[in-house]
Amino acid sequence: MKFEDKCLSEQEKGAPVILIVRTQGRQTADTEVCRAAGWRPLWFSPQKIEPQAAALADLPAQYVGADAVFWVSPGAVQTGIAALSAEDYRNKPNIAVGRATAQALREAGCRQVIAPADGQDSEAVLRLPFWQQQIAGRLLIVSGEGGRNLLAAVLAERGWQVVRAAVYRREPQALDWAAYRAAKPLAAWVTSAELVRLLFGQAPPELAQSLKSLLYLVHHSKIAEALYQAGATQVEVVERLDEHFLKSLHGAQNR
């Protein structure tokens, strides 16, 4: 997570900086969006994924035995899909919690990907017509350790046999605050309430006010609530990190 000015072009040196605050991974997609919109991304990941070998070893048999599979995050896809054979996962119903997870599944070669169009959480997944159209069977949830149990509890009440594969564990990692100082970011994209707590929990006292003053972009009202509780004053809820929206922000910065 080093911020190396000497590796930047003159155009990049003059671009406004946006922090990308998410669990380590998927750097390429977010980086491309930010750069296309005229922003310079600074990856700021207070959390990393540690794959769990035992759970991954059990995953192929669990996957084959499932009638449908729910993936809770892009990290779950990246960690779990490599343990499966393409013949197993391409045609099975793969249900994604949101747009980014659905994209990760499609990039992995899954043909039958189902995701809500009206949200990015368990409540939105439960509203999918799939649950009314499909006879209750065995559902595999591919996730990390911990997290919400809402979807599993509701579907169990509807007759589904729910099995969970916790294929990774989230581990905190130290942030490079010297890079933050050098970059002088104007905005931040944050993808979970847990990351908000880790970010502000690590902030040096002399940078706390700077962190609170950033413009935060989030995809869920629960993340926005966590940011307001941490002291942030500018939060916008957007569907995704979007090139056109970032361009409009860049234009506003230049006026």
pLDDT tens per residue, range 86-130 = 777 777 899 999 988 999 999 988 989 999 998 888 999 999 999
- Residue 4: what pLDDT? 44
Contact criterion met (CB below 8 Å) for 39 and 17: yes
Residue of 47, 122, 107, 114 lying closest to 77 (CA atoms): 107
- Residue 159: what pLDDT? 96
What's the pLDDT band for 253 if we cut at 50, 70, 90?
Answer: low
Backbone angles phi, psi at 109, to 5 degrees: 105, 5
Contact criterion met (CB below 8 Å) for 133 and 112: no
pLDDT in tens, 21-70: 988 765 667 888 999 999 999 999 999 889 999 999 999 999 999 999 99
Of 252 and 211, the structure prediction assigns the larger pLDDT to 211
Cα–Cα dist 44/194, whole Å: 14
Which of 47-61, 158-172, 237-251 shows the lowest per-residue confidence on average (mean pLDDT)?
A: 237-251
Cα–Cα dist 41/233, whole Å: 21
For the entire predicted model, the pTM comes to 0.76
Residues of the chain with pLDDT > 70, as a percent, come to 91
Residues of the chain with pLDDT > 90, as a percent, come to 67
198-218 average pLDDT score: 96
Please name the amino acid found at residue 61.
A
Structural domains in the chain, sorted by start:
5-46+173-254 (3.40.50.10090), 49-170 (3.40.50.10090)
Can you tell me whether residue 236 is helix, strand or coil?
strand
> Per-residue pLDDT for 148 more than 70?
yes
Please name the amino acid found at residue 206.
E
124-147 average pLDDT score: 93
